[in-house]
Structure formats: structure tokens, C-alpha cells
Structure 1
Amino acid sequence: MDYALMFDVLEGGVSQPIAWDKNNLTNDRNIIILDEGSSSLYLWHGSNQGLVARRTALRQAESLKGHGFTVGKSIVGRDIKLLKEIDQRKIGRDPETDRYNEELQEVLNREYKELDNFIISYASKEIETAPVKHEIKAEPKPIVEKVERIPVVSQPKLQQTAKAEITAASEYDSEPKKIQIEKPKPIVESEPKVEKKPVIMPKPSEIVIKPLGLSIQAKIGFVFMGILDHYDDIWISKKEDGAYAVEHMDGKVCEFTISEGKIKFTANSFAGIATNVKTEIQKKFVELSKLI
């Protein structure tokens, strides 16, 4: 039996389970729908939600997708792998958003049975069925028999020393005596051992990025000021390699790196915005740069 849950993402990044109702999908809410039936997790962004609230809801949805939701000894949605975002503003304008919204409406229009803790199951309301709990069964540990090993002590091989025999004659001996002289053993010098030291490569998190000068910091601020003239709500992120990315509610604005005291934009920067807006941002940047 498949189960489903609905969450309301509150301010501060808290996901709160709520009653299953498609009327919860309003323009002032971010709603997460966890659905085992379609192996999907739907994220509804209301049209009045800002960029920060959307990002917060996305982080909560990604966490649920990876771990599921624990209720007592059960985990609902632990095998869900797909995350589908639905932006209310794009319904009717974006084919992918329309497809996800149609799938979600089918999920919400199914007949269901309410269980405890806001969980629902896809069963007829007239049929009383006991909920099946998702129990995590521990896999049996393999039995490993200990085999006592008896160490085998090898007997050292006796080195046979080649001996040369020299016969010495004596007038009192009927037979000559044999004098044994050992041949000298060759001295073998062992080569000195050279200890190989492993080459330790620095991790990405350990890469040291030099602090930026005041002049280049001012230029970075000029880029942001030019963008804020056209978008009230932007998201700025700094990557491990020191690059900066700027996004607005409908997608990416630009991305740039710092090289030799200059700002270098990537090839696809400003591709998703109007040409006149791009020109005005660049013009504002040039004007402000003349002040330093």
C-alpha cells in the first residue's frame, strides 16, 4: 500500500505536516507533497512567495527526498528519488510546469483514507483497512566462523659450505691427511631502502583563496547594484573556487570570476534576461567603476 503526506514550509525552514487537502495550494504558501504512489516529491511555489522562501522550501524538499519522513517506527517516502517543482506563476506558460501540475492534480484527486499523523493511503474511504507500517528489518548478519591458524615455522636451511680439499703428505702416515680449507663467503651489501612519501593533494575545501583588494570588492558591489536596479529579489552565492553566481526568481542572471583584478563574466551570463536590461546593467557597472 502506498502512502502520502503534505507539508507546509514555514518561515525559518520548518516543514510542518498538514491535513491532506488540495485547497492548501494557494499563492501565499510553499507546499510539499510526498507521494509514494508516483515515487515523486512535488514542491508547490505560490506566486506570492519570494526567492528566499522558495530556496528554503527547496532545501526542505531535497532533505525529504533523500531521507523520507519518520513517523514512529515507520519511514514514509524513503525510496522517493524524483523532485518536481511547480511554480504557480509558470502554469500555462511552461510545458514542464504544466506536466508536473497535471500529475499533481491527479494525485490530489484520488480517493484516499486518512490515517494517523496526517498520513493518507490510497484506499476507498468505505473500506476499513488497517495501515501497514513500514518496518525496517535488520538484515541478518552473516555468521563468520573463526578458524584458528597454526603458524608454520619453517626450518632454516642449512647452507652447505663448499670446501676445497688439499692433501698433505707425511712420512709417518700410511695415508696422506686431508686438510680442509673453507672458501671465503662473498659479502653482499644490501641496497639502502628509500622510503616513498605519499603525495598529498589539497582538498577543494583546503584551497586557499587570496583576499580581494578593496578596489575589486567595490567592483563586485557595482555588479550587484546594477542588477538590483531591475530585480528587487536576488540570490547571490559564492562557490568554492571564488566564483560568484547571481539569480533572480525566474532563473540565473550572471556568473563571474575574478582574474588579475578584473571581473570576467562566463559565456552564458545574462542569456536569460532581456537585452536592454543586460545593457543597462553593464552601463551602470562602467559608470560606477569610474569612481575608483
Structure 2
Amino acid sequence: MIKTTSFALMFDARPGGEIVPIKWDKNSFMPETSIIVLDEDSESVYLWHGVKQGLVARRTALRQAESLKGHGYTIGKTIIGRDIKGIKEIDSRKVGKVPEDTKMYEDLQEILDRKFTQLDNFIVTFQAGAIKPVVVKREEPKVQAKTAPTPTKAPATTPVVSKPVSAAKPREVASEYESTEPMPSIKSETKPAPVIEASTSSLLTDAKVAFVFSAILEHYDDIWVSKKQDGSFAVEQMDGPICQFSIKEGSKLNFTTNSFSGVDTKITMSIKKKFIELSKLI
């Protein structure tokens, strides 16, 4: 059985949705970063989040990890990670507390502690005498500049002077349009632009939705909001869901039965109280 060479790559998952290959180094794992490790040996993509990474940055990094799992990473004509089976997402805040995250972190540490050979384009391999992946660079064809032909001088010619021809005087012709009376002025009639009336009820509903978000943000620095098909809003934070609510035009605020189930009672009451205070402003 022929054993093929396996490769690995490390990426910095940036907030804008970009992943950048970086040097294989354990020191890259910082509290404010999300690091992706693509390992062909374990057929896995490891996604590690630092303790200071926000919810939005984590979700953005997860989408990039899912893309690597599905398509691999192309360098030249080589695809690194074409047979990846799964994603192992590690929350560094849960390491040592949650068994699943702790186990995945230990597996990642074993990979990082292995002896490796650094190849081109930040690729590493854990096999001695590995063959570098082929990266084909296309050469642009050279364009030879053509020399312009030397212009030939035209023979000098003697200018011919012709006698001036007197222009014929135009005859004065009476015009039926010659009139001393002023032309009638044409006034354009301006029509007023139609006024688009916004629904007062709709504006009040939008304001109340914003009040809920404002009240929640007094207790959480980082939230994730999604709008459901039924028009309701779901609000989450890094540790899980906060609440789900709906406000129909002209009606009151309605929270679902499972809202605030994992939230402290004092925080829940404070959010609802703040919403009532803000609603009195409209």
C-alpha cells in the first residue's frame, strides 16, 4: 500500500470573513483571535476561539472553517484538505470545564507538539522526506516592441497664390416672421409631488423593537439578532439564547415561553423595566 504525503496548514480567521495562511506556530493562539488548523492526517479542521473573541467573529470564522471542510484550500494545482471529514470547534473558555472542548483541545495540542517540516506557502508536513506540493506559476508571454519606421520628408512644393474671389452680396429678402410684437411667454405648470404617508403604527412597532435591543445591550456587550419567518426576533449571546419576541402593529410586546430561561431573574426584570421606560417616550 502506497502512503501519500499528508500536509497541514494554519490560518488566521479575520473578522471580515477572510482567512490568511500563517506560520505554523503555537504563539499565534492569542485571546483575541480565531485560529483554524487544517490537518490532513486526522482529516479534521480545528477551529480555536480565544477568550476575547465575540459572537459575530466566532460565527464568521465558523463559516470559513465550513468552507475549508467542503472545498479544501487550493495552492497552485494542489488542494490541501480535500478529504476533510469534520470540524472540531474549541471554545478556550470551556477548556478544563467542558469535557468535549477539553478533549478536542488536547487533540489539537498533540498535533501542534509534533515535529514538522516547513514547506513553501506556509504548508507543513509531519513526514520526513516529504515531497513539496507542486505550485505552478503561469508565465506571461513577452511582447517584443516594434520600432516605428522613420518618416520620409515630402518634397517641397511652391505654394500657388490664387486671386481673391469677392463674395456675392446677399439680397435682402423680406421675411414674414419679422415682427416687432413680443413672443408670448410659456409658463410651465408645476404639480406638487405626491406625499408618501408612513404608517404611524409601523413606525411605533420599529421603535419598540429597537427599545428591546437597547434594553438587552445594557447587560450584554455582544448580541446576535435574527429575524424568523413568522416575523419574530431571536436574540442570542455567546453562552446561548436570551429571548425571542414579537410585536405586531398596534399590539403589545410578546415574549415566547422559553425566553430568559437561562438568564438571571434580576437581569430579566431589568430588561423589561427598561423597555417600559423607553416605551413611555413615544
Alignment root-mean-square deviation, CA: 2.5
Q: 1:245 maps to what in 2?
A: 234
Q: 2:131 maps to what in 1?
A: 130
Q: 2:258 maps to what in 1?
A: 268
Structure 1 residues without counterparts, runs of 5 or longer: 135-209
Instruction: With the length of structure 2 as denominator, give the TM-score of the two structures.
Output: 0.68
Structure 1 residues 21 and 59, CA, compared in 2 at 3 Å: closer, same or farther? Answer: same
* Distance across 2 between alignment mates of 1:262 and 1:117: 58
Q: 1:227 maps to what in 2?
A: 216
Using the TM superposition, give the Cα deviation of residue 12 of structure 1 relative to its aligned residue in structure 2, in angstroms: 2.1
Instruction: Select which of 78, 91, 95 maps to 1:91.
Output: 95
| 8 Å contact kept, 1:216–1:262 | no
Using the TM superposition, give the Cα deviation of residue 256 of structure 1 relative to its aligned residue in structure 2, in angstroms: 2.3
* Distance across 1 between alignment mates of 2:265 and 2:254: 19
Using the TM superposition, give the Cα deviation of residue 212 of structure 1 relative to its aligned residue in structure 2, in angstroms: 7.1
Q: 2:85 maps to what in 1?
A: 81
Asked if 1:119 is matched to 2:123, the reply is yes
Count of residue pairs the alignment pairs up? 214
What SS is found at the alignment partner of 1:213? Answer: helix
What SS is found at the alignment partner of 1:89? Answer: coil
Instruction: Select which of 5, 23, 29 maps to 1:25.
Output: 29
Structure 2 residues without counterparts, runs of 5 or longer: 136-198
Asked if 1:59 is matched to 2:49, the reply is no
Instruction: With the length of structure 1 as denominator, give the TM-score of the two structures.
Output: 0.66
Asked if 1:213 is matched to 2:191, the reply is no
Work out the percentage of aligned pairs sharing the same amino acid.
57
Using the TM superposition, give the Cα deviation of residue 101 of structure 1 relative to its aligned residue in structure 2, in angstroms: 0.8
* 2:116 partner letter: Y
* Distance across 2 between alignment mates of 1:266 and 1:84: 32
| 8 Å contact kept, 2:31–2:51 | yes
| 8 Å contact kept, 1:9–1:15 | yes
What SS is found at the alignment partner of 2:110? Answer: helix
| 8 Å contact kept, 2:10–2:21 | yes
* Distance across 1 between alignment mates of 2:52 and 2:219: 18
Cα deviation, 1:105-164, whole Å, max 9, x if unaligned, reads 1121122222221111221xxx32324669xxxxxxxxxxxxxxxxxxxxxxxxxxxxxx
* Distance across 1 between alignment mates of 2:253 and 2:53: 32
* 1:119 partner letter: I
* Distance across 1 between alignment mates of 2:200 and 2:54: 32
* Distance across 1 between alignment mates of 2:27 and 2:206: 47
Asked if 1:9 is matched to 2:23, the reply is no
Cα deviation, 1:165-185, whole Å, max 9, x if unaligned, reads xxxxxxxxxxxxxxxxxxxxx
| 8 Å contact kept, 2:72–2:81 | yes
* Distance across 2 between alignment mates of 1:31 and 1:66: 18
* 1:50 partner letter: G
* 1:289 partner letter: S
What SS is found at the alignment partner of 1:246? Answer: strand
| 8 Å contact kept, 1:255–1:265 | yes
Structure 1 residues 239 and 212, CA, compared in 2 at 3 Å: closer, same or farther? Answer: farther
Structure 1 residues 242 and 31, CA, compared in 2 at 3 Å: closer, same or farther? Answer: same
* Distance across 2 between alignment mates of 1:265 and 1:78: 45
Structure 1 residues 224 and 10, CA, compared in 2 at 3 Å: closer, same or farther? Answer: same
